[in-house]
Structure 1
Amino acid sequence: MLCFTGAPTAVGSADPLPIPQNDPFYIPPSGWESQAPGTILNSRPVEVASMGPQAQDAEAWQLLYRTTDNAGQPITTVTTVLRPRTGQVKGLISYQSAEDSSSPQCAPSFTLRQGAVPMDHKYDASLDFIEIGQMLSSGHAISVPDWEGANSALFTPNQPGYTALDGVRAAEAFAPLSLSGTDTPVAAYGYSGGSWGSAWIAQVQPTYAPEVRLVGVARGGGAFGAAEPLDMYMKSLDGGPFSGFLLSLLPGTMRADPRIAAAFDTYLTPAGKALMAAGGAQCSVPDVEQHAFVHMDDYLTIPFSQVLEQLHASFDEIDGITTPTVPLFFYHAVDDEIVHIGPVDQTVAGWCATGAAPVTYTRDELSEHPSLEVAAIPAALRWIDDRLAGQPAPDGCSIRTVPSMSLGGA
């Protein structure tokens, strides 16, 4: 579900960019609430960083647009859109990054920009730079939404799909991208936390944005659904080497759901509230680095498991991702150290049993969680290329175990 790659590596400049909280671009104009979902409220050209000292070789802009939260209320967010400088754009990929944080300065609209200065609280965008570069070389336009929304609401139902799909609507309406409006074929792509956002795109698209021509979803590092519930996942993190992820995830989850917020406000000790405030103010990398082997029981007046048990209604909604209805390319590491494969295999088996949509599932034996994101890029993008080119996905359900997707196994 989550991605951890090490110290921040984004390339900076002498003049640091303002973080979203201090950037007037993120402030919508008066009357924005009455606009239709996906309406562009502001735009600006930007440069997107790469793994080297130069920016990505692409034309890029940011679009502020109106979207919708889980309660159906209007909110705003930003997508970073890119296209190759030359050539015909083949289609549009909505790429959901693994932000995994409850802090606005960890959103891709900030972390991807050339000139964003590495900070202790900053997200490591290295893998995003790699994947964006590969998508551009395939000739696609890209939308990279701040899919948590301006309120940095992390694990919440529906809203991730709404924000990403409205980013697609904004991209399709943005003339410089040279897309074909609603005739544009669209694929969703994301790994780890980005897999969560991509799953919700497929979940809500038929009813929320039926005009979007979604042709497939490629995602990995977390299946989600009844066999992989979020509360069970949180229990598995608690007290372990990746327990710091809880401090990145829970503040945004509480922000998204008043019921969850009320429960934790009741049972967190003063030290627990301070710990959550600190974790929610920085990105996942420093949270994991600084808070390994944290036991939530030490910061609550009742056991962590009992708090989660009181929130079944909320977590049932969060775990509401059902069988995909569009072609799915899915992949997971057999020895994933962060998201164990057992519930993932069970979830995929449930998808396959329904036969609702074609599913291609690859189990990778040699990778672990972060390395699979890179190893799977060629296979995932080949699959996306075919879908955007109009080739139908292979029928039925295919499950393969390969030594490594980096060796050509798909």
Structure 2
Amino acid sequence: MYSRLPVWTAILAVLLAVLPTAFSRPTRRAEDPTTDPFYQPPAGFESQSPGTILRERQVNASFFGFIPDPVDAYQLLYRTTAVNGSAIATATTIFKPKSPKTDRFVSFHTAYDSSSPTCNPSYQYQLGVEQTGLISSVERLIIQVYLEKGYIVSSSDYEGPDAAFAAGRIEGMGVLDSMRAVSNYHEKLGLSSDSPAIVGTGYSGGAIATGWAAALHASYAPELNVKGWAQGGTPSNLTGTLLLLDDSPFSGFIPPAIDGLSKPSAYGAEVTPLIERIITEKGREALEFASTHCAVADLGNFFSQSLFSTEFQTLGPALLDDPTIQSVLNDNILGTKSDETPTVPVFVYHATYDEIIPYDDADRMVTSWCGNGASVAFTTYKSGGHATTEVIALPAVVEFVEAAFNGTVEEGCSEDTELDSLLDPLALGVSLEPLLVALLDALDVAGEKDANVQRDVRAWETTVPLQGV
């Protein structure tokens, strides 16, 4: 086990130095989504169109739960759609900088990777909230990069009201409907029209939401003025991802994925009866744990376990051969249907040695999309692992976002390989150097090719001073 206190102390010092301290905010105390009435849609909401705003409020945004963020922050509860087409409601958080661009916004899809509503970004982003979702906490620094560049940023609870983690279709529709909701909120945000330009971006679990939003854009929400999508470390084939994760330092992602796919808004009607037939007591405890904890706790609790063993469910490794499971997993493969192809430019990036998400699956997704006429720029990172690539690729992602807004992304498909794992702290400009330095400090935690993460993932929960602050 190794100490990270100096790293996070440095990060907090950077934030306190670059953020102003004078601000006024509402005094409402944040409340867990499982009990907060804000998240309960009003009677009759089912008759509203997707993207309709059902509730709104201003909130206290923060870094790591205790450093106030002096931007205006709003939350919208909006109507969206379950996998079976029924109406559900979820929330998005909107961050508005002091001098925003008024014709566009960024849709940022954080990787909260949990089947517990307590881990929803809309809750974790608020002041005074215990930071049980480490990934979202670190990715707030990336949101701040876009805010410093003048973009309004929306970050949705795209997994829906019951946290259907890994269910790509519900996540994609959740993203698209959050874009609709923000567009409907244009007057209060000071946006110049109800059809602002939008670029969507997300990494890892957030790339599930991004990839499926890109795939469903043309059929589900064609009126949205989306200019581009940027997605990295994409879990484009859940079967391949589950096989790579099992019995690894990252096997803790599997229970929330199974639990998420089993949620009522996802595939509960199909999957729950099967689970009830095959689950063991240990398996039931695993799903119950996943349904009430965030990714950090899941990783520590299920470290290097095989969730396909008969200790958890009676089918053992044959679980993936079950027709019901196969049907659900096949329904969540990106690139299998020609009518689910992105119609605006996409930037895809992935590490060759990604130890969490198979590189080959992302490569097949890109090949399929390109074969169906999409414009995809695919960058392969030869150095680093899953966590490090998100930070190393950030300047390229920001560059793509700005090019997409400006309409200067080249059409067609292209491939590029990056060999260098070094990142210039000035890559995003002098004004953003402190934030990039903070991200690089966080990156030190992972080590070369994420070796530290692989050696002792359980240390995240016990050494990062973000739990219970």
Instruction: Select 2:356's aligned residue among 338, 347, 350.
Output: 338
Task: Please state whether the residue corresponding to 2:50 is helix, strand or coil.
Answer: coil
More deviation, 31-40/97-106: 31-40
Partners of 1:106 and 1:123 within 8 A in 2: no
Percent of matched pairs sharing the same residue: 30
1:252 aligned onto 2:252: no
Partner of 1:68: 81
More deviation, 342-351/232-241: 342-351
What are the ranges of 5 or more consecutive residues in structure 2 without an aligned counterpart?
Answer: 13-26, 429-469
TM-score (norm 1): 0.89
Aligned length: 394
- 54 and 281 in structure 1: CA distance in 2 versus 1, 3 angstrom threshold: closer
CA shift at 1:395, angstroms?
3.9
- 330 and 73 in structure 1: CA distance in 2 versus 1, 3 angstrom threshold: same
Question: 1: CA distance between counterparts of 2:383 and 2:99?
Answer: 37
Cα distance per residue 1:253-311 (max 9 Å; x no partner):
11121222222221111221112111221011111112112122121112233354332
Task: Please state whether the residue corresponding to 1:30 is helix, strand or coil.
Answer: coil
CA shift at 1:369, angstroms?
1.0
CA shift at 1:246, angstroms?
0.8
- Give the partner amino acid of 2:243: K
CA shift at 1:240, angstroms?
1.7
CA shift at 1:320, angstroms?
4.5
More deviation, 139-148/22-31: 22-31
TM-score (norm 2): 0.78
Instruction: Select 1:295's aligned residue among 306, 309, 317.
Output: 306
Instruction: Select 1:283's aligned residue among 294, 297, 303.
Output: 294
- 308 and 339 in structure 1: CA distance in 2 versus 1, 3 angstrom threshold: same
- 37 and 15 in structure 1: CA distance in 2 versus 1, 3 angstrom threshold: closer
CA shift at 1:366, angstroms?
2.4
More deviation, 82-91/209-218: 82-91
Partner of 1:312: 326
Question: 2: CA distance between counterparts of 1:391 and 1:400?
Answer: 21
- Give the partner amino acid of 1:208: Y
Question: 2: CA distance between counterparts of 1:113 and 1:325?
Answer: 35
Question: 2: CA distance between counterparts of 1:52 and 1:28?
Answer: 26
Q: RMSD across aligned C-alpha pairs, in angstroms?
A: 2.5
Instruction: Select 2:211's aligned residue among 193, 199, 202.
Output: 199
Instruction: Select 1:154's aligned residue among 156, 162, 165.
Output: 165
Question: 2: CA distance between counterparts of 1:406 and 1:355?
Answer: 34
Partner of 2:45: 32
1:373 aligned onto 2:390: yes
Instruction: Select 2:414's aligned residue among 393, 397, 403.
Output: 397
- 367 and 205 in structure 1: CA distance in 2 versus 1, 3 angstrom threshold: same
- 77 and 242 in structure 1: CA distance in 2 versus 1, 3 angstrom threshold: same
Question: 2: CA distance between counterparts of 1:157 and 1:118?
Answer: 25
1:213 aligned onto 2:225: yes
Partners of 2:100 and 2:152 within 8 A in 1: no
Instruction: Select 1:128's aligned residue among 139, 147, 155.
Output: 139
- Give the partner amino acid of 1:319: I
Instruction: Select 1:88's aligned residue among 81, 101, 105.
Output: 101
Question: 2: CA distance between counterparts of 1:295 and 1:154?
Answer: 20
Question: 1: CA distance between counterparts of 2:235 and 2:306?
Answer: 26
Partners of 1:102 and 1:249 within 8 A in 2: yes
More deviation, 305-314/109-118: 305-314
Question: 2: CA distance between counterparts of 1:307 and 1:355?
Answer: 28
- 76 and 307 in structure 1: CA distance in 2 versus 1, 3 angstrom threshold: same
Partner of 1:3: none
Question: 2: CA distance between counterparts of 1:405 and 1:183?
Answer: 39
Partners of 2:247 and 2:306 within 8 A in 1: yes
Partners of 1:338 and 1:369 within 8 A in 2: yes
